[in-house]
Amino acid sequence: MPYANFKDLEMYYERLGNRDNIIDFMDQLNIASAHLIGYSLGANIGLYMAINNPERVETLTAIGTSGFCDPRGAEEFEPEWLIEQGLQDIINQMMERHLEAHQGNWEEFMRQSAQDWRLYPQLTLEQLRSIQCPALFITGEHDPFVGKEKIKRLASLVKQSRYHIVQNGSHRPHMVREYPIEVNDTILQFLEQYKEPSL
């Protein structure tokens, strides 16, 4: 079963609610369904996919989302704010990490990301409860946007779900400077239960 990582698909969508490009991408590669792994905004796209295109989603792993819109902190991703605060290290990180997505126009990419942060996800309790695929929700213990209580609430709404809290982790518990081995092992153990049997 193929795996789709939304970090690699950033260039294929313009708005968070637009799933058509991802479906087209999967169709072009003859991927009927996939195990989806998404982080932050990518995790929200995964929720939309699981709700609106359930036949395309085998499992969902979502890192760094509470399942609900929370605009706090979005202004700190506006390029003007970053420049004003002299946060060149963060700007450099964004330019490097998301090069394929912004294609050199990092300012517009950051403005769009902040706007999506303010607006999405726009999901109801009923929609979240409608998710049928197995799901794994991951948060860092000190994630200011998710954290223990919010991830527990999300997991309580999705029937076949579980959650994992990375101790001392932030909003990016899977990244190199944090706890990538723990996060990767947790995801692999989860996926192991749903892999196709060998022929």
**Which residues, at least 6 apart from 176, have a Cβ–Cβ distance to it below 8 Å?**
none
- pTM of the entire predicted model: 0.80
Q: Is residue 61 part of a domain?
A: yes
Identify the pLDDT of residue 119: 82
CA angle 130, 23, 39 (to 5 degrees): 65
- Token pair, residue 156, equals 């309580």
E strand intervals along the chain:
3-5, 34-39, 57-63, 135-140, 161-166
Report DSSP state, residue 6.
Answer: G
Check whether residue 83 and residue 172 sit in a common domain.
Answer: no
Ramachandran angles phi, psi of 175, nearest 5°:
-80, 165
Check whether residue 28 and residue 80 sit in a common domain.
Answer: no
Check whether residue 106 and residue 83 sit in a common domain.
Answer: yes
Confidence of residue 183 (pLDDT cuts 50, 70, 90): very high
Contact 61, 35 (CB under 8 A): yes
CA end-to-end distance (rounded Å), the chain: 13
Q: To the nearest whole percent, how much of the chain has pLDDT over 90? A: 53
Rounded Cα distance between 133 and 139, Å, is: 19
pLDDT at 9 over 60: no
Contact 39, 7 (CB under 8 A): yes
Check whether residue 53 and residue 129 sit in a common domain.
Answer: yes
Contact 9, 22 (CB under 8 A): yes
Mark out the alpha helices in the chain (DSSP H runs). 20-28, 41-52, 79-84, 88-97, 99-102, 106-119, 125-129, 147-157, 180-192
Q: Is residue 198 part of a domain?
A: no
Q: Is residue 197 part of a domain?
A: no
- Nearest Cα residue to 63 out of 44, 43, 48: 43
Tokens 């789709």 locate to 4
| Total number of domains constituting the chain | 2
- Token pair, residue 75, equals 């202004």
Q: For 20-67, how does the pLDDT look when each residue is reduced to its tens digit (9 = 90+)? A: 778 888 999 999 999 999 998 889 989 999 999 999 999 999 999 999
Residue type, 159: K
pLDDT at 199 over 80: no
Quote the domain boundaries for residue 45: 3-69+124-192
